[in-house]
Amino acid sequence: MSNFEEERRVSAERLQNLRRKLIWLAFTGVLFVALAAGWYFLKFNQGFSSQQEVWGTFGDYFGGLLNPVLSFLALIALLYTIVIQMEELNHSREELAKSSHAMGKQANTSAEQLLESTFFHMLRLHNAIVQDFKMGSHEGRKCGNVLLTRFANKWDNVALSIKNKDELATLILVYDEFYQQDGNMLGHYFRNLFQIVKFVDESGIKNQKRHIDLLRAQLSRSEQLLLFLNVVAGPGREKFKPLVEKFSLLEHLDPQSLPVSYPTKFVDPKAFG
C-alpha cells in the first residue's frame, strides 16, 4: 500500500470515528429529552392540559433541566471537532514538511544528475578533440607520440647548445618554440582539459576522486608527458599546475621518462600520486 493510500485510509477512519461520536452525542441528547419527558409525565400524570399556565410550567421544567445538559453536549461536540481539526492541521503540517523535504531531496538529486551529465559531456568532448588530431599519416592519440618526438628533437638541439644549463629556463625556451609550431592543436586540447578539471574542482560534484580517476583514465602516456610540459613550461604554469598537483593527474607517469633530471623540482611530488 502506498503512502497516499495509507493517508486516505487513516483520514477516512478519523472521519468515521467523528461521525460515530457525534451520533452518540445526538442519541444521548435525545435520550435525555425522552427521560425528562417521561419523568415529568410519570411524576405529574395529568395528561395533556389545555391550560397555558401548565404548558408554561412544563416548558420551564424542560428548559431548566435540558438546556444545561444539551449545551454541555453541544460544547463537547464542538471541542471534539476542534480537536479533530487541530489533528488534521498538524497532520497537514507534517505532510507539508515531508513534501518540502522530498522536493528538496529531489532538487538535490536533479542538480547532481545535471553535474554528472555535464561532466560526461565534457569528457566526450575531450575524446572528440583527441580523435580530431591529425598530423600527416597519424591521427588521434598517435599524434601524441609525434608531438613528443618533435619536442625531444628541439630539446636535444637547444640543450646541447646551452653551456650553462638552467633546466627550467631551457625547458621554457624549448617549449615556447615547440608551442609556436603546434600551439593551435595543443591550445584547444589543454584549454578543454583544464576546464574539465576546474569543473570537478569548483562545481561541488560528489566524489571528485572518482571523476578525476575517470578523466585520468582517458589520458595516454604521451598526453600525460605533454601535460607535464604544459604546466611546467607552457601556458598552464599559473592556473593548471595547482590542479594537476591537487588531483595527481600525472599519477602512473614514470618521472624518469621526462626530459629533465629532477621533475619534482618543478611540480609537487603529489602530482605523480
- Closest C-alpha to 136, from 127, 125, 145, 123: 145
Question: What pLDDT score was predicted for residue 183?
Answer: 81
Q: Virtual CA dihedral for 57, 61, 67, 70, nearest 10 degrees?
A: -130
One domain for residues 78 and 197: no
pLDDT per residue as tens digits for the range 215-272: 999 999 889 989 999 998 888 988 999 999 999 999 887 766 666 665 667 788 888 8
Check: CB of residue 269 under 8 Å from CB of residue 248.
no
Same domain, 189 and 96: no
Average pLDDT, the chain: 77
Are residue 88 and residue 211 in the same domain, yes or no? no
Position with higher pLDDT, 71 vs 64: 71
Lowest-pLDDT choice from 5-14, 87-96, 117-126: 5-14
For residue 135, list its beta bridge partners. 138
Q: What is the pLDDT of residue 125?
A: 92
Of 111, 140, 159, the residue that ends a domain is 111
Residue whose C-alpha cell is 486516505: 8
* Domains: count for the chain: 2
Is 8 within the bounds of a domain? yes
| DSSP tag of 271 | G
Distance separating alpha carbons of residues 197 and 227, to the nearest angstrom: 13
Ramachandran angles phi, psi of 134, nearest 5°:
-150, 120
* The pLDDT value given to residue 157: 76
Q: What is the pLDDT of residue 166?
A: 74
Is residue 267 within 8 A of residue 231, CB to CB? The reply is: yes
H helices, E strands: number in the chain = 7, 2
Highest mean pLDDT out of 93-107, 116-130, 156-170, 249-263: 116-130
Give yes or no: residues 148 and 36 share one domain.
no
Residue 149 shares a structural domain with residue 260: yes
Helix (H) or strand (E) holding 173: helix 167-202
In the prediction, which pLDDT does 196 show? 94
Is there a domain that residue 144 lies in? Answer: yes
Same domain, 194 and 259: yes
Higher-confidence position of 243 and 96: 243
User: 142 and 248 share a domain?
Assistant: yes
The overall pTM is greater than 0.75: no
Residue with cell 618543478: 266
User: pLDDT (tens digit, 9 = 90+) per residue, 194-211?
Assistant: 999 999 999 888 889 999
pLDDT on residue 170: 81
Residue 81 pLDDT greater than 60, yes or no: yes
Q: What is the mean pLDDT of residues 146-166?
A: 75
Which of 228, 81, 218, 73 shows the shortest CA–CA distance to 147? 228
Task: Tell me: do 98 and 173 sit in the same domain.
Answer: no
**Is residue 200 domain-resident?**
yes
Q: Which of the listed residues 79, 111, 143 is the one where a domain comes to its end?
A: 111
The answer to the question of residue 178 being in a domain is: yes
Q: Is residue 117 part of a domain?
A: no
Cell 483520514, located at residue: 11
User: Across residues 170-197, what is the average pLDDT?
Assistant: 88
Same domain, 137 and 265: yes
Is residue 120, in this structure, part of any structural domain at all?
no
Clarify whether residues 106 and 136 are in a common domain.
no
Question: Do 144 and 250 share a domain, yes or no?
Answer: yes
Indicate whether 124 pLDDT > 60. Answer: yes
Residue 71 shares a structural domain with residue 142:
no
Classify each residue of 2-12 as buried b or exposed e, where b means 16 or more C-beta atoms within 10 Å of its C-beta.
Answer: eeeeeeeeeee
Asked whether residue 37 is domain-assigned, the answer is yes
C-alpha cell at 220: 595516454
CA distance 46 to 208: 97
Domain that holds residue 159: 132-272
Asked whether residue 121 is domain-assigned, the answer is no
Kindly state the percentage of the chain with pLDDT values over 70.
61
First to last CA, the chain: 52
Look at residue 145 and give its three-state secondary structure. helix
List, as one string, the DSSP characters of 211-266.
HHHHHHHT--HHHHHHHHHHHHHSGGGTTHHHHHHHTTTTTT--GGGSSSS-GGGT
